[in-house]
Amino acid sequence: MFKQLTSGLLLGLFLASPVFSGTAADDIQVMDPWAREVPPGLTTSAGFLTLHNKGSKEHKLVAAESPATGTVELHTHINDNGVMRMRPVKDIPVAAGGKTELKPGGYHLMLMMLKKPLKSGEKMPITLQFEDGSKKEIQAEVRHFSMEKGMKHMKMDH
């Protein structure tokens, strides 16, 4: 009996260990990451993507970095009655089972101090960091403004 108890206890501990609970990086699926091509000479651009949280608890994107830039910050836009205000944010939350979009006019990765101009067609590596310290590396596709999704779906525009 003692043996069973011990095994049971050990098994229980094992199952409860972090090895089996998903990290934020495990739970979050990143969809359609892209960055905007900018005119040569500019060192700031924006990165966009959709975060889909397949886990059972809320996760937060807290930081990002890329070898292609000096720094990446998390920003959002507040549309204050027609006045666009861009502000840094501490984190970007994604609800359990939900999605959060980083898109033009809203949340975005501010890519600052670009080491060289982003050119359409290239891929930019970005490492996303979440609240539990887990990280995920993605490849953002660099797109010229004429390739933005909003432009293609003109039939749906008002």
Residue 38 sits in the site that holds another protein (CB under 8 A) = yes
Helix, strand and coil in the chain, % to nearest 5: 20, 45, 35
CB of 51 to another protein, least distance (A): 18
Residue 104 sits in the site that holds another protein (CB under 8 A) = yes
Determine the Cα angle at 118 with ends 130 and 106, to 5°.
Answer: 50
- Residue closest to 129 by CA, chosen among 68, 29, 60: 60
CB of 148 to another protein, least distance (A): 7
Residue 116 sits in the site that holds another protein (CB under 8 A) = no
- Binding region for another protein (CB under 8 A) out of 1-9, 38-46, 50-58, 59-67: 38-46
Which residue's CB is nearer to another protein, number 1 or number 84? 84
Contact in structure between 54 and 84 (CB atoms under 8 Å): no
- Residue closest to 35 by CA, chosen among 137, 120, 153: 120
Report CA Rg, the chain: 20
List 12, 105, 121, 125, residue binding another protein (CB under 8 A): 105
Contact in structure between 60 and 130 (CB atoms under 8 Å): yes
List 113, 119, 125, 149, residue binding another protein (CB under 8 A): 113
List 46, 65, 93, 134, residue binding another protein (CB under 8 A): 46
Locus of tokens 């934020």? 24
Residues, the chain, total?
A: 158
Residues within the interface to another protein (CB under 8 A) = 36, 38-42, 44-46, 70-71, 73, 75, 77, 79-80, 82-88, 104-105, 108, 110-113, 145-146, 148, 150-151, 154, 157-158
